[in-house]
């Protein structure tokens, strides 16, 4: 081949060998130096470019290592055959975005998130410093695959006292998000299992089961929870429910429906109930509803909890209580699964719960969220527009039915035009049955300040009336 045309920049911070390597690599990738071409010898290229043979050797060595050229003894360096990458021109203006650039969200009633100013930073920082101890060798070991034993012990005690859950620390698995726990259960149960999910319900379950090739079916609910008649027709054998605070309806399952579901589960050995207790800490009237697991005497309930709402979603800490016989199956079949939560975070959380900080934080957050909830409800009622508020007795969101003749889509879009983002309940249905339900919106209030709640409701009035 002809000698390489390359202008060496001796003032560049990039090493000369790298300049040569990059130039040859680009020439090969674009096809300007074709397959089987013999490259100039080190001696000739050194004389032509005025650089040392060692520099050229370094460039050639890098090209050999990456598979662009090959060295054949006593013959020289030759270009390898490369499968070229197709380059597709993409117009950046055609890329879709989650919302129009012309629409600026000023107020977001997102269900996700927590109060931004109430996290106990000082306490958390102090505990983090205490945990990072050079004499604690556990910080440098893989640790227990189920999670730090101290954390599992205090969670077990907390669940028994606050939720009526009957378990020991040996039944608890610590993980990073309920999604991972569901994936674990999919591996634990038989492939023939059929999961029943609430309709409407948590939208990620649809994606999760689909992504893991697990069979599932959506089961209609009423204000008391899953309908027993629909459960029987579904042929599901594992039900995913949120009895303490159904999402998104906000309904609380009464004792009679809970007993019906337990009796259904007891009728066959392959039947189970997965109880998602995702935000049970926040109930604003009456006594907290005990967990369904506390009623179970036949090891039929799998209990899941999370600290995403009570502390912060960024912690990514969740836990699952398995019945004893399923824990034995887990240890036999899935012992290779390691706890994904760093041991440092687990130890900080252990101290946070063990020294009473968690209980104090929860009491504080209940007061804050109740005040926000009350303010949101009052602001809506003060509009005197006959808006119906649903599911406000617990949790960190409520539902609105707006009797102004607008569709759900129009309610959302008209509010968004004025800078308020709201969320339709239709996205939580897994079929078109939402078409028979009056237009209903979901409003989360945890991350909103009291001032912005009042302002946002005033804007909604302008958008809807």
- Sequential DSSP letters for 16-66: HHHHHHHHHHHHHHTTSS-TTPBPPPHHHHHHHHT--HHHHHHHHHHHHHH
Options 3.40.50.300, 3.90.1150.10, 3.30.390.10, 2.60.120.620; CATH for 107-117+360-464 is 3.90.1150.10
Encoding tokens for residue 263?
Answer: 């009796």
131 and 344 Cβ atoms separated by less than 8 Å = yes
- Residue 389 — φ and ψ, nearest 5°? -105, 130
Based on its alpha-carbon atoms, the radius of gyration of the chain, rounded to whole angstroms, reads 30
Contacts 24+ apart (CB under 8 A), 399-402: 399/248, 399/249, 399/250, 399/425, 399/440, 399/441, 399/442, 399/443, 400/440, 400/441, 400/443, 401/438, 401/439, 401/440, 402/439, 402/441, 402/464
Instruction: Give me the numbers of helices (H) and strands (E) for the chain, helices first please.
Output: 14, 16
The C-alpha atoms of residue 170 and residue 16 are separated, in whole angstroms, by 61
**pLDDT per position in the chain (465 positions), as tens?**
667 777 788 788 899 999 999 999 998 888 888 988 999 999 998 988 889 999 999 999 999 999 999 999 989 999 998 876 665 565 655 555 445 445 799 999 999 889 989 999 999 999 999 999 878 888 888 889 999 999 999 999 999 999 999 999 999 999 999 999 999 999 999 999 999 999 999 989 999 999 999 999 999 999 999 999 999 999 999 999 999 999 999 899 999 999 999 999 999 999 999 999 988 888 887 777 889 999 999 999 999 999 999 999 888 899 999 999 999 999 999 989 999 999 999 999 999 999 999 999 999 999 999 999 999 999 999 999 999 999 888 899 999 999 999 999 999 999 999 999 999 999 999 888 777 788 999 999 999 999 999 999 999 999 999
Q: For the whole model, what pTM was predicted?
A: 0.81
The C-alpha atoms of residue 300 and residue 91 are separated, in whole angstroms, by 54
Sequence ranges of the chain with CATH classification 1.10.10.10: 16-79
* CA-to-CA dists, residue 201 to 104, 193, 335, 427, 433, angstroms: 29, 20, 31, 9, 13
111 and 444 Cβ atoms separated by less than 8 Å = yes
The C-alpha atoms of residue 63 and residue 57 are separated, in whole angstroms, by 10
Pick the closest to residue 280 from 309, 302, 255, 301 (CA basis). Answer: 309
Which residue, chain included where needed, has tokens 């049955």? 433
Options 3.10.20.600, 3.40.190.10, 3.20.20.10, 1.10.10.10; CATH for 16-79 is 1.10.10.10
416 and 461 Cβ atoms separated by less than 8 Å = no
Q: What is the DSSP letter of 93?
A: G
Encoding tokens for residue 99?
Answer: 């919302």
Sequence ranges of the chain with CATH classification 3.90.1150.10: 107-117+360-464
147: exposed, middle or buried (C-beta count within 10 Å: 0-12, 13-18, 19+)?
A: buried
Residue 335 burial (CB count, 10 A) = 10
Residue 221's pLDDT is: 95
Residue 396's pLDDT is: 93
CATH architecture of the domain with range 134-355: 3-Layer(aba) Sandwich (3.40)
Residue 183 burial (CB count, 10 A) = 18
Sequence ranges of the chain with CATH classification 3.40.640.10: 134-355
């Amino acid at each position: 081949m002809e000698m390489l045309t390359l202008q060496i920049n001796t003032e560049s911070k990039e090493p000369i060998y790298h300049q040569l390597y990059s130039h040859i690599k680009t020439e090969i990738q674009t096809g300007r130096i074709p397959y089987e071409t013999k490259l100039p010898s080190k001696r000739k290229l050194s004389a032509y470019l005025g650089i040392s043979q060692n520099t050229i050797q370094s460039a050639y060595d890098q090209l050999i290592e990456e598979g662009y050229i090959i060295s054949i003894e006593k013959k020289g360096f030759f270009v390898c055959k490369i499968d070229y990458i197709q380059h597709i021109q993409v117009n950046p203006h055609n890329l879709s975005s989650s919302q129009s650039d012309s629409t600026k969200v000023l107020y977001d009633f997102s269900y996700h998130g927590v109060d931004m100013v109430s996290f106990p930073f000082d306490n958390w920082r102090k505990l983090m410093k205490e945990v990072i101890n050079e004499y604690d060798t556990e910080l440098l070991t893989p640790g227990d695959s189920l999670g730090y034993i101290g954390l599992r012990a205090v969670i077990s005690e907390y669940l028994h006292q606050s939720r009526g859950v009957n378990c020991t620390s040996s039944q608890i698995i610590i993980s990073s998000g309920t999604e991972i726990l569901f994936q674990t259960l999919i591996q634990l149960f038989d492939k023939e299992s059929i999961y029943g999910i609430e309709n409407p319900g948590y939208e990620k379950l649809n994606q999760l089961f689909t992504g893991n090739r697990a069979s599932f079916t959506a089961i209609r609910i009423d204000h008391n929870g899953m309908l027993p008649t629909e459960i029987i027709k579904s042929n599901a054998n594992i039900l995913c429910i949120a009895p303490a605070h159904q999402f998104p309806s906000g309904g609380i399952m009464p004792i009679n429906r809970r007993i019906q579901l337990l009796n259904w589960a007891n009728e066959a050995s392959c039947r189970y109930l997965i109880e998602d207790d995702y935000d049970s800490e926040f109930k604003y009237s009456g006594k907290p509803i005990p967990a369904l697991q506390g009623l179970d005497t036949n090891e039929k309930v799998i209990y899941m909890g999370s600290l995403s709402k009570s502390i912060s979603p960024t912690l990514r800490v969740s836990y699952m209580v398995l019945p004893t016989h399923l824990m034995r199956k887990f240890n036999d079949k899935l012992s290779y699964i390691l706890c994904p939560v760093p041991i440092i975070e687990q130890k900080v959380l252990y101290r946070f719960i063990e020294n009473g900080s968690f209980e104090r934080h929860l009491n504080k957050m209940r007061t804050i969220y109740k005040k926000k909830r009350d303010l949101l409800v009052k602001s809506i009622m003060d509009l005197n527009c006959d808006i119906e508020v649903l599911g406000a007795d617990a949790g960190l969101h409520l539902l609105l039915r707006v009797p102004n003749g607008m569709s759900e889509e129009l309610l959302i879009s008209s509010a968004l035009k004025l800078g308020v983002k709201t969320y339709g309940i239709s996205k939580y249905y897994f079929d078109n049955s939402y078409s028979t339900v009056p237009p209903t919106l979901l409003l989360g209030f945890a991350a909103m300040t009291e001032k912005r709640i009042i302002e946002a409701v005033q804007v909604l009035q302008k958008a809807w009336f």
